[in-house]
Amino acid sequence: MALSGRILFSGIEVDAGTGEVLLRILVDNPQRRLLPGMYVRARIARAHYPAALSVPQQAVLRRGDQASVWVVDTHGRAQPRAIELGELVGRRYRVVSGLSAGEQVVIEGIERLSPDAPVVTRAWQPAAAGH
């Protein structure tokens, strides 16, 4: 049975174990095929942002509902930067604001950083899937 609806609310947290996210969807149900307590399988079209900036999940630090990353300034020193995150897709967060294209983000070794710490940069390659 195919019914259409629209998203009223989307939770911001994804269960890392199951990939589940909380959604509240309003569905027209004129024939009363959907009843309270029923489980459904839904196909939800995701938004597409072709020019979006994204950062690996492991580069993001969270303190409460605030997110930040370490960026490398023009002098090769680490600086903390508050950012606003969008959704998490494939272990990468979409960055809504706080970063510009071309800025270098520290991904590994962030636990040892402090403001103005010198940073040696190199290209980062994510681990192969399943490793």
Series of mean pLDDT values for 10-residue runs along the chain (131 residues): 80 78 85 88 77 91 92 95 89 92 93 92 74 50
Q: In the prediction, which pLDDT does 129 show?
A: 56
Q: In the prediction, which pLDDT does 59 show?
A: 94
Q: In the prediction, which pLDDT does 72 show?
A: 95
Q: In the prediction, which pLDDT does 125 show?
A: 80
- Quick one: CA dihedral 93, 96, 101, 107, positive or negative? negative
What is the SS3 assignment for 3? coil
Q: Quick check: pTM over 0.85? A: no
Residue 17 falls inside a structural domain: yes
Query: In this structure, what are the phi and psi dihedrals at residue 60, rounded to the nearest 5 degrees?
Result: -90, 130
User: Which residues constitute the domain of residue 84?
Assistant: 53-112
Q: Are residues 68 and 102 in the same domain?
A: yes
Q: Are residues 59 and 108 in the same domain?
A: yes
Residue 125 falls inside a structural domain: no
Domain count, the chain: 2
Q: In the prediction, which pLDDT does 116 show?
A: 95
Q: What's the rounded Cα separation, in Å, for the pair 71 and 91?
A: 19
Q: In the prediction, which pLDDT does 52 show?
A: 87
